[in-house]
Structure 1
Amino acid sequence: MKVAIVAQWGNDRTARLAGDLRERLVSADVTVWLDAATADELGVPGRPIEAFDAADLVVSIGGDGTFLFAAHGARTTPILGVNLGEVGFLNAVNPEDAVEAVMEEVRNFREAGELPTRSMPRLAASGEDWQLPSAVNEVVVQGARRGHGGGASVEVRVDGSRYATGHADGVLIATPTGSTAYNLSEDGPLIHPGVSGFVVTEMAGAQGMPPLVVDRDATVSVTVEGTENAVVVVDGRIRERVEPPADVTVEIAEDPVRMAGPASDFFEALKKLE
């Protein structure tokens, strides 16, 4: 079995836990990969995150940002999230339980040849001649800059029917997982993870259409007009600049996030937003 570990950078606690977990796995005859930064802290060889999709399990140690980073490398490889003492939406395992939780997944894999998982949807964003890696949280289509004198002229369609048009800082399309992140800061609604859909939220729209929750099978099209360039951003990390007029299509991706280990309590995790 191959287990890949990604730890929050620059954090002594996560590095120590990654080291302890690595030692336990190696003693159990498990092949262990570490991301380059964590490996450097521990003085062992590392691997690029892009190679982690070849592992059987990816362990993320840190906050939701670390999980998102790990998920982009893991693709459809199951991920187990370990939090830093605060229950998160993506990291359900406490640090003191981390080693045993991972070893339980090792036992499951050796007994069944696969891991029990649950799926979370991702979003795929594409244009005429480009496609970005799938988003775990959100896809944002926005002007090159926000605020007065910035933004972009946009038209939003859902399955071909026009929903909103006008000038806005941007348009945010979020998964249920992402509804608790950037979407919430833009006054979008929380979506329970059991809901089969995603949310479209205008960002400071001049005409102010309310957020809209659409079915998971819907296709959202954002047409960017005007003269200034815009940018498409995936999970706050990956960017594609587009030159108007441009059409951006967002829909459910074919590669969901596969979660291993115990599930977090959505309502308990909401407390971190208070």
Structure 2
Amino acid sequence: MDVDVGLVAQRDNERAQELAATIAEAIDDGTASVVVDEATGAAIDRPAVPVAAMSERDLVVSIGGDGTLLFVAREVGETPVLGVNLGEVGFLNAVAPADAVTVVTDLVADLRAGEDRPGRTLARLQATGDDWALEPALNEVVVHGPRRGHGGGATVEIRVDGDRYTESHADGVLVATPTGSTAYNLSEGGPLVHPTAEALVVTQMAAPESMPPLVVDRDATLSLRVTDAETAYAISDGRNRRELSPPATVSVSIADEPVRLVGPQVNFFDGLEKLE
């Protein structure tokens, strides 16, 4: 069978663009259809499409850091993604640049033969209100007041499956997946969670009288009710934002569509050694 592959290189990264060109040349043998993202296409003169249009392909290769893969995952939904790591830590991108051509070539051959692809599924979070929904988050959903810091917080009540956990005035509250436990959650004092754990983490942000971070079952529904602020925000992965008019309630639960990572996987503990 023919295999349709999309390549996305980190924006304005010449090294990523050159690697995309090398991979494209290696797999473009008449049995694989290869397209790149629009910025890369202009740089290396290859057929290009918007990243969102790659959602119908058999495989998308993300070349860059974890931020690039987060962007790709938002755009392509459940389409399998392989991450090539040009960043520092790389909790999501397992493939070294030197191994990229071999790994992608082997994966395309497996796809062509109809063989199972090794990998894992990563849960995403869905934040919703009365009449809105944010794009699913791979790392975290944050609900906070008008701004961080003195005088900028809000009172947030946290409920888990309808049961009240705590209520406190704070900068905000963060709900993270295991994938996101090493990101914003960690900087706010939340725990590390092994990527295979079926759990979510709830962490208060700079609350004067805070409860400890709470680990709940991944199938729990979290309710964050915001009061005592003129305005507040719900934010998905630091990118998609919804302004709130308190009192307002944000529900957070597992999204219907996960992210599918294929190919070699990152050793979680090796990644931890690279954290500052």
How high is the TM-score relative to the length of structure 1? Answer: 0.96
Gapped regions of structure 2 (runs ≥ 5): none
Partner of 2:61: 59
Partner of 2:184: 182
> Aligned residue pairs: how many?
274
Residue 88 of structure 1 contacts residue 272 of structure 1 at CA under 8 Å; is this kept in 2? no
Residue 197 of structure 1 contacts residue 215 of structure 1 at CA under 8 Å; is this kept in 2? yes
Residue 244 (str. 1) matches residue 246 (str. 2)? yes
Shift of 1:200: 0.3
Shift of 1:54: 0.9
Shift of 1:23: 1.4
In the alignment, residue 186 of structure 1 is paired with which amino acid? E
Partner of 2:131: 129
Q: Which moved more, 1:21-30 or 1:67-76?
A: 21-30
2:75 and 2:218 mapped to 1: Cα distance? 24
Shift of 1:155: 0.6
Alignment of 1:188-203 (within 5 A): 188-203=190-205
Shift of 1:132: 1.2
2:10 and 2:271 mapped to 1: Cα distance? 19
Shift of 1:181: 0.5
Residue 82 of structure 2 contacts residue 261 of structure 2 at CA under 8 Å; is this kept in 1? yes
Partner of 1:254: 256
In the alignment, residue 187 of structure 1 is paired with which amino acid? G
Residue 34 of structure 2 contacts residue 47 of structure 2 at CA under 8 Å; is this kept in 1? no
Partner of 1:71: 73
Q: Any idea what SS the aligned residue of 1:93 has?
A: coil
Q: Any idea what SS the aligned residue of 2:49 has?
A: coil
1:210 and 1:28 mapped to 2: Cα distance? 56
2:217 and 2:29 mapped to 1: Cα distance? 47
Q: Any idea what SS the aligned residue of 1:272 has?
A: coil
1:191 and 1:179 mapped to 2: Cα distance? 6
Percent sequence identity is: 55
Partner of 2:39: 37
1:3-28 Cα shifts (integer Å, max 9, x gaps):
11111111111110011111122225
2:171 and 2:47 mapped to 1: Cα distance? 44
How high is the TM-score relative to the length of structure 2? Answer: 0.95
1:239 and 1:93 mapped to 2: Cα distance? 31
Partner of 2:9: 7
Q: Which moved more, 1:94-103 or 1:226-235?
A: 226-235
Partner of 1:167: 169
Change (3 A) 1:28 1:115: farther
Q: Any idea what SS the aligned residue of 1:273 has?
A: coil
Q: Any idea what SS the aligned residue of 2:174 has?
A: strand
Partner of 1:25: 27
Residue 223 (str. 1) matches residue 225 (str. 2)? yes
Q: Any idea what SS the aligned residue of 1:148 has?
A: coil
Q: Any idea what SS the aligned residue of 1:16 has?
A: helix
Q: Which moved more, 1:41-50 or 1:206-215?
A: 41-50
Shift of 1:192: 0.5
Gapped regions of structure 1 (runs ≥ 5): none
Q: Any idea what SS the aligned residue of 2:175 has?
A: strand
1:176-228 Cα shifts (integer Å, max 9, x gaps):
01000010000100000121101000000121111001001111100111241
Shift of 1:266: 0.4
Q: Report the aligned-residue RMSD.
A: 1.4
2:236 and 2:86 mapped to 1: Cα distance? 25
Alignment of 1:146-157 (within 5 A): 146-157=148-159
Q: Any idea what SS the aligned residue of 1:4 has?
A: strand
1:250 and 1:16 mapped to 2: Cα distance? 40
List 4+ stretches of structure 1 deviating above 2 A.
43-46, 113-117
Change (3 A) 1:202 1:129: same
1:73 and 1:231 mapped to 2: Cα distance? 22
Shift of 1:43: 3.1
Q: Any idea what SS the aligned residue of 2:48 has?
A: coil
Residue 64 of structure 1 contacts residue 90 of structure 1 at CA under 8 Å; is this kept in 2? yes
2:126 and 2:35 mapped to 1: Cα distance? 28
